[in-house]
Amino acid sequence: MENPFKKILHNEELPEVLRKKVLNDVAMIKLSIDVADLFVVKYPNTIADLLGGGRTPSDNNKNKKETD
């Protein structure tokens, strides 16, 4: 079986339509990752912060020093 990658010409440019399609696909993947990050990581953390009283790591350090 012949290797199809050896048929690729090194100096040949892709058609503009194909280039736009690839870039749009990459942009859609990046958008999907950003949306997933928003709803899977950031949104639950925000809700936990609101329900937990909005304590920050510096607040936790102050409480540790007071109890020591």
Residue 68 has pLDDT above 90, yes or no: no
pLDDT in tens, 26-64: 999 999 999 999 988 888 888 888 888 656 555 656 656
pLDDT at res. 1? 75
DSSP letter for each residue of 5-45: GGG--TTPPPPHHHHHHHHHHHHHHHHHHHHHHIIIIIHHH
- 């696909």: which residue's tokens? 25
Residue 24 has pLDDT above 90, yes or no: yes
Q: Fill in the DSSP letter of residue 46.
A: H
Residue 18's identity, in one-letter code, is: L
- If pLDDT is split at 50, 70 and 90, which confidence band does 2 have? confident
Residue 3 has pLDDT above 70, yes or no: yes
Q: Fill in the DSSP letter of residue 4.
A: G
pLDDT at res. 32? 96
